[in-house]
Amino acid sequence: MNVDSISNGVVIDHIRAGLAFRLYNLLDLDNLDCPVAIIKNVASKKMGKKDIIKIDSQTPIDFDVVGFVDPNATINVIKDGVLVEKLSIDMPEKLTNVIKCKNPRCITTVEQEIEHVFILSEEDEKVYRCLYCETKADI
């Protein structure tokens, strides 16, 4: 794959430097068969440094996961070499089964069947809390 040009795929751009690998893991990109490139510490006029993820396939992306990791990231959808969609993302109000609560006494740790739900509690501070025990999530 030429990392500069993708003809059909998805480019997640303007990721805050250092967060691309976290996003890669949470989006489960490891399970894709297609080429995926993480480009770290790219010079950016606006941001100083940024990370970029390029996926060489029309893969559906979970916007909630991107919004959780970095709501300032942008998602570019490329078809036949043309940028067809440029999407900005909001922080999701609620995250279901994306991250797990780290509190060992949380009911989600004890009960296997319960969904892992986090709620956006302080938007300015980008804080998510476990629905059940209110433990703060790590981005």
Considering the complex, what minimum distance in angstroms separates the CB of residue 117 from Zn ion? Answer: 9
Judged by beta carbon, residue 55 or residue 131, the one nearer Zn ion is 131
Judged by beta carbon, residue 4 or residue 138, the one nearer Zn ion is 138
Considering the complex, what minimum distance in angstroms separates the CB of residue 63 from Zn ion? Answer: 24
Find tokens 């999701």 and name the residue.
Answer: 92
Judged by beta carbon, residue 9 or residue 92, the one nearer Zn ion is 92
Q: What percent of the chain is helix, strand and coil (3-state, nearest 5)?
A: 15, 35, 45
- Residues near Zn ion, by CB under 5 A: 101, 103, 106, 130, 132-133, 135
Considering the complex, what minimum distance in angstroms separates the CB of residue 80 from Zn ion? Answer: 45
CA nearest neighbour of 115 among 128, 97, 102, 133:
97
Give dist(CA 54, CA 56) in Å, integer.
Answer: 6
- Reading the block at residue 44, the tokens are 């950016």
Judged by beta carbon, residue 74 or residue 103, the one nearer Zn ion is 103
Q: With contact defined as beta carbons under 8 Å apart, do 89 and 73 qualify? A: yes
Considering the complex, what minimum distance in angstroms separates the CB of residue 34 from Zn ion? Answer: 35
